[in-house]
Structure 1
């Protein structure tokens, strides 16, 4: 008989994890159901909640084994759930409902402990270019088309196992781009995911060809609840010929490939003494020539690094930038920053009588033959929380997270606190002690969590400690999860405490502009905004949109109405304005619904709405005669089936109620309109 005991610092003990999407939807796991106080439902349970209403959580799925990986895709539509026994499932919303989720496809790798996972990149990325303040949005924010992780039709000219060649030349790009034909880098982005296991396996899964990834709606809801989810196409590849025991891992996207960093469990002996070995790899996923077969998966090694640390402590690792990684944050007894850099080795001219391998620039130009460049990890900074004393909740780093936007910063969580640092030099900014229990006596400057799941606990007790930290996509808030699956949300200091007010407003304006164009939810930025800067920010954003081209304003009209309403809700005197904007947006939605359902019988280039708009544009605003315009419009019969009219009845009644409410509210503003004019929204 063999007995095995797991201590508190054992990395094999599965703890709750959390992640936040670009839509500010928080997904977190729990070993028991949230309503279970006795532990009868032990296993794996996944819940989601909106950042706006974190107390209203919704159940996604439950498993018999603990949850070890939770990941969102870059659009925030799909959620990947992996367990400690190798089960991987991808979920999506049904009918765009936050409280109704369904499994899109699933895969199983029996006996494999899933350490980390990532969903494929779709190849779309918004890049912020350093331009003048008064530059247009099309100049400051450019949508770049990157190579998707898995390309569909259109990349037939690329060899399935083609990988980038490691070369020199470049401060940030440590391997060259593929100089392939245009048809080789184009192609539709395919969906799928990659996972890394504790035994050193890299696994890829893609949905079957005959299955659509979009959740069905309508009558098929009952059918999909009975039928089992489709099985994904899977493929596996060893990271190394000699497989390692992996205790932590991290993924990042790089030019259509995947960067994998893994921490080995066995101690490494080097010239610095005992420590940990961190191995890095480059993975490439290419579609098979046969659509029904699994994709091809290739792995190429990158230089490894050794960290002096206690092998008995659970480590944490994270790439600094998830879409273009070249720096690693490694947490253990201390927090260290490592960067992959080029190292030059001089070669004697007698030994350099031909092209030296790896001695070319990124454009393929041969360098002088007196130098040979290799890649090596360089430690850039190191930080220990012992320097700030015991008030910041010191201890071992249980989780490390890097903020995505600029300025570059990093978050590290210990068992009792969260620390914010500048990422480049690991300079300490501030610390926050997190109360995970909610006892009667609280330290100064702390607050007990709302609706504690396990009741009040002793402050110095060990029943609830922090185990995971994540930052929002805009860098406005930090989400911390403890071992009782209690969420703690904190505002992140933006960007410096002593920044002048104009620069502070400009910083948030840049963040809102980026979120508006990229399609990210901006609630995290609004939560971190100072109350005194809300009205100047509203004026700044209104002025910014007025300078944009007409096509830009029309395309982002709905998103701009949302942003204006959200900013008005934050201002004490803006509640009426927010209500009006919400009603206007509802009218826009109803108008779009009715316009799509009702069409003129005579199909032509211009309908009634287009004809009215052209007549209004032809005449100056000061000389518009509404009587002549209405007479000049030709009456056309509308073709609409009786069933469509019945379906639109409630929508039209809603539109009429909103319009009458808006007209009734005009009397409060004491507006005097000349006869024959219409009231319109400015």
Structure 2
């Protein structure tokens, strides 16, 4: 376990009084999109105790210093949980208030309340969202298969609550200290309204001090509760929630319970059960029980096992099968010298093997963290907050006299552990993913494929990689993807490009490859958007529309764009003029992209052959670019003002036919022989191109301050960070090969709409992963541009979340 960074309060003083004001119980929770939610007793910028209460903050693990406060609560918050897609957050407190929050317009630092309920007098201990029924697993028997469809299967898992048509409902299940179980369901028809119901877990209400909730395969919940004393049983219940006539109903059924070992009770060393945790929250067969005493703690693993019972012959059925029942059996035990303060376990059972591979991580009162094997609770790794910091910085910079862990949570892929102490300081640890001292290439490739198929965020996996393995990992991932069937490749194409771009962005030498992959993704997206506007003039042939006709013509050896138009029906490419005008910036980007590629051709020829991806060698991408130039040429006849604008040194130069002719010659050479040298005539024309037309700079080498950059491999870990302060040591400026004679504007460029926003725009949307900026609102609201904006509303083109940023900050 390696500590990657710690994020402290800004300007923390070392006096005891200041620490006392900030001290208090804190919670933390990681979403499937690697966004952390955490609570503090006082606001992060308050050191006098004036804001005493409970405050919820969120931050992206890639830029943890940019924190955003969701709400401030007067009463103590006791439950904090993300839903499975990572979009919604439930916040529950000790007064019985349940609040459901989500991103407003998918903005990371803008939140809105979508529903709330209150159960007066109920101290909520735990909360869990309804399961949506979506579960994909790696089939253990076919993990070496080359096809995604064989390797990854949709597993049978029922939604927790079904609505009309069988679709999954959204809501949460909560359990309180009095034994109450409650459900709060979001109404799809009116999202601002919720319906809720309550029920008693058992036949009578009893006091509960520890609880955990697990998902069952048939849509029910498994709830394990303890009343605190080791002399009392650990009770288990099966809870189901159903919806009928816009109301929800809860049923609870008692399941087999168990006592801890007699030796634990008689020795009187451990008196209080403090934590219950299912080993995997989608597997109800294993439960972790933690008990504390005055001088230490005890952790046990209990499993549900099928056991044969002897029955009197009078009651024995005629069949030879013995009577079987399900009982809890103790599997392993781990004793520690300090009381247990927090427990976390694996969130996802990625592999279908039974029992699923998982881990158990416990935090103790002495600030130590123990990474345990689930099978025998053998200690694999150990870490402590009290370990000395690295030697190149003064150790007293953020040092406090006491460090007490308050809560811990593991990432969804199992690669990262988030720790929060009682003063709101966040610690991020890198875990041993596949059980060895370092991650293997095969395991990393399989996990990236799992992210590709499920759509899970891969940041926690990226932070566990070594820089030396990234290029080889990209090659292996590329090889695996190219083996898939064409429909499968098409379905996962965008997500595949995002993952490869993120991998190359982690390398200093991979920035140009990452830029090329971003351009490839944008070419694909623009082509999809433009072709979706085309309609066949007659419904005679349903299998061949305008886009297919253009693709067939473009493969012929024609270098004149006007001759290509003779083979097409112009009526099929007719689009409303106002729509064409709204797409002018995308049209301009296509032309600028073609200019940049051709201007880079001479220098690419002189460079040595390098690994990775180069857009100039992508035959399919260049053909797509040619198709777009043909479409733009036709649209220019309908609306000349939508044509791209070129700064030309020659008045009689028609730039579009020139670009199409040069690209066609390049494609024909690549198509005939990939290893053939490009003819000197094409090189000379490309060298002369900057003298004829001003080349705009497409990829600006703007600085980014983030964790997942090449600067991570240049730093001595752990990093010491502060909330609200961008660390100068992580500022990274990518080195991109500038084109000679390229035109630099110095303005901020919208990475989505390709507009210039000025040198210092007041307000922008910025990606939390790649640092790309975009306009907050677009004034041009045609249907085509609305569809384009909607394509990037949820995430940036790299898959990162948007956050609103004032450029003065």
**Could you state the TM-score of these two structures normalised by the residue count of structure 1?**
0.77
Q: CA deviation at 1:645?
A: 4.1
Identify the match of residue 251 of structure 2 among 270, 276, 298. Answer: 298
Distance 1:63 1:586, change over 3 A: farther
Identify the match of residue 189 of structure 2 among 205, 210, 224. Answer: 210
Over the residues paired in the alignment, what is the CA RMSD in angstroms? 3.0
Aligned match of 1:150: 161
* Contact 1:69–1:116 (Cα < 8 Å) also in 2: yes
Distance 2:69 2:599 in 1: 43
* Contact 2:299–2:334 (Cα < 8 Å) also in 1: yes
Aligned match of 1:326: 285
Q: CA deviation at 1:613?
A: 2.2
Say which structure, 1 or 2, has more relative contact order (CA 8 Å, 6+ apart). Answer: 2
Distance 1:447 1:305, change over 3 A: farther
Identify the match of residue 666 of structure 1 among 601, 604, 607. Answer: 601
Counterpart secondary structure, 2:197: strand
Aligned match of 1:157: none
Identify the match of residue 469 of structure 1 among 379, 401, 408. Answer: 408
The unaligned stretches of length 5 or more in structure 1 are 1-12, 155-186, 213-229, 270-275, 355-366, 387-393, 436-441
Distance 2:384 2:208 in 1: 30
Identify the match of residue 232 of structure 1 among 190, 194, 207. Answer: 194
Distance 2:558 2:573 in 1: 26
Aligned match of 1:201: 180
Aligned match of 2:695: none
Distance 1:579 1:515 in 2: 22
Aligned match of 1:359: none
Distance 1:599 1:199, change over 3 A: same
Q: CA deviation at 1:74?
A: 1.1
Q: CA deviation at 1:632?
A: 1.5
Structure having the higher helix fraction is: 2
Q: CA deviation at 1:198?
A: 1.0
* Contact 1:410–1:420 (Cα < 8 Å) also in 2: yes
**Could you state the TM-score of these two structures normalised by the residue count of structure 2?**
0.66
Residue deviations 1:208-240 (CA, integer Å, cap 9, x gap):
35314xxxxxxxxxxxxxxxxx34111111011
Aligned match of 2:225: 262
Distance 1:401 1:666, change over 3 A: same
Distance 1:122 1:614 in 2: 43
Q: Which residues of 2 match residues 268-667 of structure 1 at below 5 A? A: 268-269=230-231, 277-288=233-244, 290=245, 292=246, 294-307=247-260, 308=264, 315-332=274-291, 333-353=297-317, 368=320, 371-386=322-337, 394-402=338-346, 404=348, 405=350, 407-415=357-365, 416-435=367-386, 443=388, 456-458=398-400, 461-462=401-402, 464-497=403-436, 504-596=440-532, 598-600=533-535, 602=537, 604=539, 605=542, 606-615=544-553, 624-625=557-558, 629-636=564-571, 638=573, 640-641=575-576, 643-667=578-602
Residue deviations 1:175-223 (CA, integer Å, cap 9, x gap):
xxxxxxxxxxxx11111110001111000111235314xxxxxxxxxxx
Distance 1:148 1:615, change over 3 A: same
* Contact 1:313–1:396 (Cα < 8 Å) also in 2: no
Distance 1:445 1:374, change over 3 A: farther
Q: Which residues of 2 match residues 243-262 of structure 1 at below 5 A? A: 243-255=205-217, 256-262=219-225
Counterpart secondary structure, 1:68: strand
Distance 2:394 2:78 in 1: 24
Distance 1:591 1:51 in 2: 33
Counterpart secondary structure, 1:493: coil
Larger Rg: 2
Q: CA deviation at 1:657?
A: 3.9
Counterpart secondary structure, 1:544: helix
Aligned match of 2:633: none
Distance 2:89 2:124 in 1: 15
Q: CA deviation at 1:579?
A: 1.4
Distance 1:350 1:607 in 2: 77
* Contact 2:546–2:573 (Cα < 8 Å) also in 1: no
* Contact 1:14–1:68 (Cα < 8 Å) also in 2: no
* Contact 1:25–1:50 (Cα < 8 Å) also in 2: yes
* Contact 2:343–2:360 (Cα < 8 Å) also in 1: no
Residue deviations 1:404-432 (CA, integer Å, cap 9, x gap):
34642221112302111111111111101
Counterpart secondary structure, 1:664: helix
Aligned match of 1:64: 74
Counterpart secondary structure, 1:319: strand
Aligned residue pairs, count: 570
* Contact 2:94–2:123 (Cα < 8 Å) also in 1: yes
Residue deviations 1:556-612 (CA, integer Å, cap 9, x gap):
11101111111112234211101111222233334444445x444836544432212
Distance 2:124 2:577 in 1: 55
Distance 2:152 2:172 in 1: 28
Distance 1:46 1:662, change over 3 A: farther
Residue deviations 1:415-451 (CA, integer Å, cap 9, x gap):
302111111111111101124xxxxxx627799999x
Residue deviations 1:44-90 (CA, integer Å, cap 9, x gap):
22111112111211222222222111111111111111111111111
Counterpart secondary structure, 2:107: coil
Residue deviations 1:92-134 (CA, integer Å, cap 9, x gap):
1122111111111111111111111011111111021121524
The unaligned stretches of length 5 or more in structure 2 are 1-22, 292-296, 352-356, 607-615, 618-660, 675-809
Q: Which residues of 2 match residues 70-89 of structure 1 at below 5 A? A: 70-89=80-99
* Contact 1:16–1:485 (Cα < 8 Å) also in 2: yes
Distance 1:245 1:61, change over 3 A: same
Distance 1:20 1:306 in 2: 32
Distance 1:277 1:132, change over 3 A: closer
Aligned match of 2:151: 140
* Contact 1:329–1:400 (Cα < 8 Å) also in 2: no
Distance 2:67 2:422 in 1: 17
Aligned match of 2:118: 108
Aligned match of 2:690: none
Q: CA deviation at 1:301?
A: 0.9
Distance 1:447 1:482 in 2: 24
Distance 1:145 1:666, change over 3 A: farther
* Contact 2:32–2:412 (Cα < 8 Å) also in 1: yes
Q: CA deviation at 1:638?
A: 4.9
Residue deviations 1:265-308 (CA, integer Å, cap 9, x gap):
3x253xxxxxx5321111111111x2x3x211100111222234
Counterpart secondary structure, 2:160: coil
Distance 1:63 1:194, change over 3 A: same
Distance 1:51 1:148, change over 3 A: same
Distance 1:544 1:74, change over 3 A: same
Q: Which moved more, 1:193-202 or 1:238-247?
A: 238-247
Distance 1:108 1:259 in 2: 23
Residue deviations 1:487-531 (CA, integer Å, cap 9, x gap):
1111111323367x8xx1111111111111011011111111223
Distance 1:18 1:449, change over 3 A: farther
Distance 1:601 1:548, change over 3 A: closer
Counterpart secondary structure, 2:468: helix
